[in-house]
Structure 1
Amino acid sequence: MRILITGGAGFIGSALVRYLLNETSHEILNLDKLTYAGNLESLAGVADNPRYQFVQADIADSATVSRTLDEFQPDAIMHLAAESHVDRSIDGPAAFIQTNIVGTYALLEATRTYWSALDGRRQNSFRFHHISTDEVYGDLHGVNDLFTETTPYAPSSPYSASKAASDHLVRAWQRTYGLPVLITNCSNNYGPYHFPEKLIPLMILNALEGKPLPVYGNGQQIRDWLYVEDHARALFKVVTEGQVGETYNIGGHNEQKNLHVVETICSLLEELAPQKPSGVACYRDLITYVKDRPGHDLRYAIDASKVERELGWVPEETFETGLRKTVQWYLNNLEWCRHVQDGSYQRERLGA
């Protein structure tokens, strides 16, 4: 197969690109705008693979996207390009509307034109896989409730509202135009190459520098955590074996309170990085409670039984094994982290 991945320089996208190049024989084209969250250093290990191509482009740039589709002739598109940080969406929602809604619309239209021109066999086998989030479902109130594929949408933030809108567009293009689509909604991802503003890498790096570990509110918010390499395997399962028009929820079966996540990171660092910064007796002493985020959902939890039942996917990592691997990866790759923190990863790609 020839697979075009949008947002392949992002956290989940780069994990998917690495997985496909290392574990399959498919050809990959990575189309990424390279915003602050796109980091080509995350793909350094596969950049020279003869089955890999990179195109820097905005998904809203219809001319470039259409030209890329015509030249690469993909058998599938896996759409991950999105603005994804909730706090940034609260501070500046416009970019989320532009990329997640307008950009998805432009990509769908370019794809529809390309797909319509394919011969019958290729048209029937083509897939447009839209990768979304469990945050479109909003908040869970009961301690035993789970998000299913039929849970009504109730987004709480500009980010999740923009992703909900993109999900609706994708479904509409299937119902109206017959475009063969698949949608997946995933829980919180974590693992190597995660941008340092996100919870787990932020806590690891702040702790190593002796900085406060900011926890929103009382830290009792619950999330289901999915190791990013498990997610990449699931995405490949869906795009190759999933039923057209279906939605699949992908979760890690690992519900954890945010405070517990931070405390577990501190415990792992006590073991793996016992030489603490000056003035720090115990990593847990750095935990600091800060004012809660506006509209902060209390609990997310995914019922991933459909993807397990129909496609045979289950996560390989528990939260304990995945988090240990993640902490160790950051300890082993502090140079990658420094390049993100000081902005040099962006300057280098611009030739500065």
Structure 2
Amino acid sequence: MTILVTGGAGFIGSNFVAGWLAGTDEPVVNLDKLTYAGNLANLESLRADERHRFVRGDIGDRAAMDALLKAHAPRAVVHFAAESHVDRSIHGPADFIQTNVVGTFTLLEAVRSYWGSLEPAAKAAFRFLHVSTDEVYGSLGEDDPAFSETTAYAPNSPYSASKAGSDHLVRAYHHTYGLPVVTTNCSNNYGPFQFPEKLIPLMIANALEGKPLPVYGDGRQVRDWLYVADHCEAIRLVLERGALGEVYNVGGNAERRNLEVVHTLCDILDAERPRSGGHRALIQFVTDRPGHDRRYAIDSRKIQGALGWRPRESFESGLAKTVRWYLGHADWVAQVRSGEYRRWIEKNYAERPAS
């Protein structure tokens, strides 16, 4: 018995793999292309673990996917692999279409062929779990109800459009071919090993170096924040007990404005690493990004009622854990903030005027 995890060297994927192996003896085959956000350093704690097998590969390579499935005969595929940053999708949407849409299609075709070859008992037990995002639902007004599993799709960025496309393909493969799929749509994750282009790790890294903390627009955009370990627990439950063909929204019950998040981070850093004048003095408002969604919110009642899942961390407890992890892993932060990272920061922020 084994499972195949795609994108398992990325932020959420590496947390999932480590958590999986901490809680079960079932082996993991971990496939990752190792683009800028896929990092073997995220998996360093598993280096000597014989239950973990890492394979460098691309979900868009059909021959490689066929060979991998044949060689390891997984009972399930957990599909994290994706391009996932809105700002990058604005600057270069082609990679997002190629990975998130074409790559997911290629993987589904390989999995459909493999699943069709299984013996009846193994075929009935097989699962394909697709990990997606709340951004496929678009943007909410201040007083609109939170996204539910029946909310109409209305993606507003190349990233969210590409993830919506992958969601639709997964749904279609279930309804057309009977492929046993389940899908999760999560809110904004945060926690250890998050690549420091995203809001929380970027602010931590900049604050520790005394650099400006760039906040888009007026900073009043609202997101629901989900600690990554809570998300991984939800995925394990959906894989184990989720109903075939169903979608489960996973949120942290922690709506916060972006500026509130930055303020809370600054206050935690003031306590952990005091700075003359305080870290809030580093905040700098910059021109908003194009098409910036105003609010996301997740209604998690379905997964709570059907599977008994609840987030264990509050936003405050999860954020404190996250800050302390980054403070204790300066070597990891320095390693990932490579030339590629610096080029990206310069491209996205250097020419963005203050507002």
State the TM-score, normalized to the length of structure 2: 0.95
Q: Give the AA of the match of 1:101.
A: V
CA-to-partner distance for each residue in 1:214-266, whole Å, 9 max, x for gaps?
00000000000000011111100001110000000000000000000000000
Judge which range, 106-115 or 141-150, deviates more: 141-150
C-alpha distance in 1 between matches for 2:251 and 2:298: 5
Residues 186-197 of structure 1: pairs in structure 2 closer than 5 A: 186-197=186-197
The equivalent residue for 1:245 is 245
Give 1:183 shift.
0.4
The equivalent residue for 1:169 is 169
1:317 to 308, 313, 318: 313
Q: Give the AA of the match of 1:25.
A: D
Give 1:26 shift.
1.4
C-alpha distance in 2 between matches for 1:304 and 1:37: 28
Paired residues in the alignment total: 341
Give 1:47 shift.
2.4
C-alpha distance in 1 between matches for 2:12 and 2:52: 17
2:184 is equivalent to residue 184 of structure 1: yes
C-alpha distance in 1 between matches for 2:141 and 2:270: 35
Q: Give the AA of the match of 2:113.
A: T
CA-to-partner distance for each residue in 1:93-138, whole Å, 9 max, x for gaps?
0000000000000000000000000000000000000000000000
The equivalent residue for 1:269 is 269
The equivalent residue for 2:280 is 284
Q: Give the AA of the match of 1:35.
A: T
The equivalent residue for 2:91 is 91
Give 1:314 shift.
0.4
Q: Give the AA of the match of 1:303.
A: D
Give 1:38 shift.
0.1
Q: SS of the counterpart of 1:44?
A: helix
2:119 is equivalent to residue 119 of structure 1: yes
The equivalent residue for 1:256 is 256
The equivalent residue for 1:225 is 225
C-alpha distance in 2 between matches for 1:238 and 1:282: 43
C-alpha distance in 1 between matches for 2:255 and 2:24: 31
The equivalent residue for 1:350 is none
The equivalent residue for 1:298 is 294
Q: Give the AA of the match of 1:114.
A: Y
Q: SS of the counterpart of 2:312?
A: coil
C-alpha distance in 2 between matches for 1:33 and 1:50: 21
2:7 is equivalent to residue 11 of structure 1: no
The equivalent residue for 1:333 is 329
C-alpha distance in 1 between matches for 2:158 and 2:313: 31
State the TM-score, normalized to the length of structure 1: 0.95
* TM-align CA RMSD: 1.1
1:335/1:344 CA distance change after superposition, 3 Å: farther
Q: Give the AA of the match of 1:299.
A: R
C-alpha distance in 2 between matches for 1:4 and 1:55: 10
C-alpha distance in 2 between matches for 1:52 and 1:332: 25
2:107 is equivalent to residue 107 of structure 1: yes
C-alpha distance in 1 between matches for 2:315 and 2:264: 10
CA-to-partner distance for each residue in 1:302-335, whole Å, 9 max, x for gaps?
0001001000110000000000000010000011
CA-to-partner distance for each residue in 1:177-234, whole Å, 9 max, x for gaps?
0000000000000001110111000001101101000000000000000000111111
1:281/1:313 CA distance change after superposition, 3 Å: same
Q: Between the two proteins, what is the percent identity of the paired residues?
A: 59
Gaps of 5+ in 2: 342-355
Residues 137-156 of structure 1: pairs in structure 2 closer than 5 A: 137-156=137-156
C-alpha distance in 2 between matches for 1:234 and 1:2: 19
1:343/1:15 CA distance change after superposition, 3 Å: farther
Give 1:343 shift.
5.0
Give 1:344 shift.
9.9
C-alpha distance in 2 between matches for 1:316 and 1:165: 31
Is the 2:215–2:286 contact (alpha carbons within 8 Å) kept by the matching residues of 1?
yes
Q: Give the AA of the match of 1:172.
A: A
2:202 is equivalent to residue 206 of structure 1: no
Q: SS of the counterpart of 2:285?
A: strand
Give 1:27 shift.
1.0
Q: SS of the counterpart of 1:269?
A: helix
Runs of 4+ in structure 1 displaced over 4 angstroms? none
The equivalent residue for 1:71 is 71
Q: Give the AA of the match of 1:183.
A: T
C-alpha distance in 2 between matches for 1:81 and 1:158: 16
Gaps of 5+ in 1: 346-352
Q: SS of the counterpart of 2:45?
A: coil
